[in-house]
Structure 1
Amino acid sequence: MAFRRRAKSHPLFSQEFLIHNHADIGFCLVLSVLIALMFEVTAKTAFLFILPQYNVSVPTADGELVQYHYGLKDLVTILFYIFIAIILHAVVQEYALDKINRRLHLSKVKHSKFNESGQLVAFHLTSLIWCLYVVVTEGYISNPRSLWENYPHIYLPYQVKFFYLCQLAYWLHALPELYFQKVRKEEIPRQLRCIALYLLHIAGAYLLNLTRLGLILLLLQYLAEFFFHMARLVCFTDENNEKLFNVWAVVFVVTRLFTLTLYILVIGFGLPRVESQALDPERGNLFSFLFNNILFRMSVLLLVCLFQASVMWRFIHFQLRRWREYWNEQSSRKRAAAALRVPLLPSPGYHENGVVKAENGTSPRTKKLKSP
């Protein structure tokens, strides 16, 4: 059951014991929940951890369709999948990243960045495929009007709700992983900021009933992030290979434009066309009522535009710094090559064909001896 081979054992319940055995502890907790499914007394409680709750039968033309909405019991399900994410994190680290790291012999700083990008490449690729499958099967791409029609989207299909629960679980699991992976203090503020932004956007789309728009935006975001972290991995193996960074730059700009366009299309033009409804928080009409208010709608769009502008500014600053470093390196290489091509100047006074030459290349005058 152990994920790692350890050279020595640590005292029970000590800090080092928890860090080195956190994946095994999580595996034991998950196994306990799965064993509880086998007994009738505990099966009902175990299902709270594994399956999404709050299912509702919605009548349709073809019969009844089971859909879901959110509630406090979702926190129990998210907690279970946090432990699943911790286990998968340890598996990827042990059986993939650590083996590659031993071959590359990276420094401590690059080792930490390599592990971060390796984990995120695996997560973004999985989420990208899963999210693309959901938006295609639910018809959100083929019918863009479905992003705002019949808002608020209180009831969710099973795969949409399960996707959001897993996304929240992954980004929440990243918080204790900062401790388990012994992330450097200099890197913690940046990673905390990234985790907080993802949690804010995903939880906001889930609670504001904007899950359809959130799926499309996550698809675009994960596409750009996948190319970025893939480019970093390639750069660690070959520092001169920066082709993927150029691909990422193009994908990043395109996804930012699509993101801003979707926000304006859905919030600026789509949601105002939803029929005005009376304020009814119990039915979920609170946010539909707010989005019918032009002041609230314009405030949301302003915040979105400011955030996207800040993201683009950081991107432009990063690109300018990268190009500056590239041209400085190229100019230093040219200067070094030019210095090698310049011939060495002769030292003052040297022999040529048995005759002593001066600095200007002429033969020095011989000193005349006085006659006795």
Structure 2
Amino acid sequence: MKTEMMGGIPAFQEVMALCVVMIAQRSMVTAKTAFLFILPQYNISVPTADPFYLTDSETVHYHYGPKDLVTILFYVFITIILHAVVQEYILDKISKRLHLSKVKHSKFNESGQLVVFHLSSVVWCLYVAGTEGYITNLRSLWEDYPHVFLSFQVKFFYLCQLAYWLHSLPELYFQKVRKEEIPRQLQYICLYLLHIAGAYLLNLSRLGLILLLLQYSTEFLFHMARLFYFADENNERLFNAWAAVFGVTRLFILTLAVLAIGFGLARVENQVFDPEKGNFNTLPCRLSMLLLVCVVQAWHMWRFIHSQLRHWREYWKEQSAKRRVPAAPRLPARPIKREPGYHENGVVKAENGTSPRTKKFKSP
């Protein structure tokens, strides 16, 4: 049995730690501590009326608190294990067949991991948004704010999202990422953590989930295009599709943020800053949130335009260089040895005007 997985991750120790936690869950003494790591905390029962049975029932909802950090830490370890499994049993086997360089190999691993994560997150977002009714009723994104009480699937989704992006920080060391790539990866890791934690703590979980759905869909298309490009450098059709979707996604994100924060929350009656009740619906808070969203989307768009212009310049330089390549020099024609005299009507004439005497051959 291997004691280490790809990237220097002590997989055997992590699996043993997971087994210890699962065994501790079975113990009567440590059951409460184990559930603190595994299950979301701060649950509360809310009485609801059942119109079918005409009886009262209870629905379990959740809110956030400091104990969520323990649950997130547990799922960080789980994510590290899953990351190593995908790396060793899927990505490494594919990259060996492609024979990539070190730079392309690093980007291939990055895109491969993010394709798996973004695809699973998009499916999860669609399921949660569909079952909770966020897509069919956009007014629910800002109505009844603050959204302090969350369903199990919404809270568990946010805990897993925070765990994934937190696990990306030690993965920079485990995957031996080049120093030149670390600042770029730290930028988008911190941006994701800022937006996800902000939506979770400011009780904007519904809006944050829809925005993540739009963002993850675009990122999935981009990293899928990179994987196809590494397999075949002439395959750039997905990049063209991603470029078309990228600008539309930025427009949708800005429109939805302005609609929900700028207009929706501004019409809610309760506009008092009360952190104890989870209410942050004040004019300074709304302006700060809108400013952050607009600045980040403008930054993404500026980087996109800058990247496209750079690619176009490189393309036209290659085309102009091909046109300037001089044609292969022609070899000088071999001179034809002519007989003395001049030619007239296809007959060789001597210099004095008479045709040369033909040479007679002796008969044997």
Range of TM-score over shorter length: 0.7 to 0.9
Paired residues for 1:93-104 under 5 Å: 93-104=87-98
Q: CA deviation at 1:130?
A: 0.6
Q: CA deviation at 1:351?
A: 3.2
**Contact 2:62–2:150 under 8 Å retained in 1:** yes
1:168 to 162, 165, 176: 162
Give the Cα–Cα distance (whole angstroms) in 2 for the partners of residues 280 and 303 of structure 1.
21
Paired residues for 1:131-142 under 5 Å: 131-142=125-136
Q: CA deviation at 1:4?
A: 5.3
The one-letter amino acid paired with 1:344 is: P
**1:316 has 2:305 as partner:** yes
**1:64 has 2:53 as partner:** no
Give the Cα–Cα distance (whole angstroms) in 1 for the partners of residues 69 and 193 of structure 2.
14
**What's the counterpart of residue 22 of structure 1?**
10
Superposed CA deviations along residues 81-105 of structure 1, whole A, max 9, x for unmatched, are 0011000000000001111111111
**What's the counterpart of residue 43 of structure 1?**
31
Q: CA deviation at 1:21?
A: 4.3
Q: Mark the CA change 1:45 to 1:66 in structure 2 (over 3 Å): closer, same or farther.
A: same
Give the Cα–Cα distance (whole angstroms) in 1 for the partners of residues 215 and 278 of structure 2.
28
Which range is displaced more, 207-216 or 61-70?
A: 61-70
Please report the TM-score for the alignment, with normalisation by the length of structure 1. 0.85
SS in 2 for 1:65: strand
Please report the TM-score for the alignment, with normalisation by the length of structure 2. 0.87
SS in 1 for 2:200: helix
Q: CA deviation at 1:20?
A: 2.7
Unaligned runs of 5+ in 1: 7-18, 357-372
**What's the counterpart of residue 351 of structure 1?**
334
SS in 2 for 1:93: helix
**What's the counterpart of residue 180 of structure 1?**
174
Unaligned runs of 5+ in 2: 51-56, 340-364
Q: CA deviation at 1:335?
A: 4.3
The one-letter amino acid paired with 2:109 is: N
**1:224 has 2:218 as partner:** yes
Paired residues for 1:186-201 under 5 Å: 186-201=180-195
Q: Mark the CA change 1:200 to 1:182 in structure 2 (over 3 Å): closer, same or farther.
A: same
**What's the counterpart of residue 227 of structure 2?**
233
**1:306 has 2:300 as partner:** no
SS in 2 for 1:351: coil
Q: Mark the CA change 1:5 to 1:263 in structure 2 (over 3 Å): closer, same or farther.
A: closer
Sequence identity (%):
69
SS in 1 for 2:29: helix
Which range is displaced more, 80-89 or 25-34?
A: 25-34
The one-letter amino acid paired with 1:178 is: L
The one-letter amino acid paired with 1:147 is: L
Give the Cα–Cα distance (whole angstroms) in 2 for the partners of residues 345 and 355 of structure 1.
23
**What's the counterpart of residue 276 of structure 2?**
282
- RMSD (Å) for aligned C-alpha atoms: 1.9
**Contact 1:4–1:94 under 8 Å retained in 2:** no
SS in 2 for 1:155: coil
SS in 2 for 1:344: coil
Q: CA deviation at 1:328?
A: 2.4
Give the Cα–Cα distance (whole angstroms) in 2 for the partners of residues 5 and 254 of structure 1.
40
Q: Mark the CA change 1:279 to 1:249 in structure 2 (over 3 Å): closer, same or farther.
A: closer
**Contact 1:3–1:94 under 8 Å retained in 2:** no
SS in 1 for 2:147: coil
